[in-house]
Amino acid sequence: METSNADRARILVHALPYIQKYSGKIIVIKYGGNAMINEELKDSVMRDIVLLSLIGVKVVLVHGGGPEITDMLKKIGKESKFVDGLRVTDRETVDIVQMVLAGKINKSLVNLIENKGGRAIGLSGVDGHMIQAKVKDERLGFVGDITHVDVQPIFDVIDKGYIPVVSTVGCDDEGNIYNINADTAAAKIAGELHAESLISMTDISGILKDKNDPSTLIPKITVAEAPGLIENGIISGGMLPKVECCVNAISWGVRQVFIIDGTIPHAILIETLTDEGIGTMFVKE
């Protein structure tokens, strides 16, 4: 069914308060999962980002790329090994990580944004020593624990009217490169930017009271409520580190954090420019 011009006008008027709310503010989007693999979803995400940018929102895109790293390692005959869900990253692997994240993925996302009418510049955590790190666990090799984030390069790119696209590799003063968890990096960057929002794109709809029933979505969680949900097993497994990043981001200065289903087309716009939203929002109180 086609949308009439009158319907389009009503949609725009309805979105006006949200446009006013976010115009001039910084939104950090953590991008990964199936939304990064599926070409149609990728197109949808880039269109959302360009639209937000054109209405005055200062969008910062932070991305990972685990599946593509795994694919590249397979191509060179190297098996991926994981400890506690984190990729074991020896020196050869970290070279591949840097090549895939800071090269292939980062520049392809910049190109996609530009092709949609936006203006973007790719950065990595190594640029300007933006993400400084140390060894997280000797068993993991060059997997980094963030020690410092300098967001001045991001501010510089924003001030010139570009969308920063940040790949999550880090470095130390000895010249070592580190593989950095994208959720952690996005939370820390958003905190240092004092972002209005951090939007974490995942493959699920948010925090569910019953993980097998999408209708049990919890739309809003305060920082104080999170420990109880963990204790009751509602937040568990792979969601634990994501929620920890959400809570940390709030404590670091982000006003609100959203976990949304990135497999829904235009999920970012639904979350930011409508009454209901689609995911789980974390707030301080």
The pairing of beta strand 26-31 with beta strand 197-202: parallel
Tens digit of pLDDT for each residue in 31-61?
987 678 888 889 999 999 999 999 999 999 9
Provide the domain count of the chain. Answer: 1
pLDDT for residue 6: 86
pLDDT for residue 81: 84
pLDDT greater at residue 136 or residue 12? 136
> What's the domain range around 37?
23-283
pLDDT for residue 86: 80
Burial group, residue 213, by CB count within 10 angstroms (0-12, 13-18, 19+): exposed
Interatomic CA distance for residues 190 and 267, integer angstroms? 19
Q: Has residue 253 got a pLDDT over 60?
A: yes
pLDDT for residue 1: 53
Q: Does 166 fall in a domain? A: yes
Which sequence positions are flagged as catalytic? 30, 33, 66, 183, 242
Tens digit of pLDDT for each residue in 174-186?
999 999 999 999 9
Interatomic CA distance for residues 191 and 198, integer angstroms? 9
3-state secondary structure (DSSP) of residue 194: coil
* CATH code for position 50: 3.40.1160.10
Question: Helices (DSSP H) in the chain: which residue ranges?
Answer: 5-22, 34-37, 39-54, 66-75, 91-98, 106-115, 152-159, 182-193, 226-231, 239-251, 267-273
Q: Does 185 fall in a domain? A: yes
Q: Does 186 fall in a domain? A: yes
Quickly state the pLDDT bin for 172 (edges 50, 70, 90).
very high
> What number of other Cβ atoms are within 10 A of residue 276's Cβ?
7
As a whole number, mean pLDDT of residues 66-93 equals: 87
Q: Does 18 fall in a domain? A: no
Q: Does 17 fall in a domain? A: no
Tens digit of pLDDT for each residue in 198-238?
999 988 888 888 878 888 889 999 999 999 998 888 888 77
Percent pLDDT > 70 in the chain is 99
Q: Does 276 fall in a domain? A: yes
Q: Has residue 117 got a pLDDT over 60?
A: yes
Percent pLDDT > 90 in the chain is 62
Interatomic CA distance for residues 249 and 97, integer angstroms? 25
* Residue among 46, 283, 85, 96 nearest 184 (CA): 85
pLDDT for residue 2: 64
Quickly state the pLDDT bin for 29 (edges 50, 70, 90).
very high
Q: Are 252 and 218 in contact (CB under 8 A)?
A: no
3-state secondary structure (DSSP) of residue 35: helix
Q: Does 9 fall in a domain? A: no
Interatomic CA distance for residues 262 and 257, integer angstroms? 15
Q: Does 5 fall in a domain? A: no
Question: Which amino acid, residue 199?
Answer: I
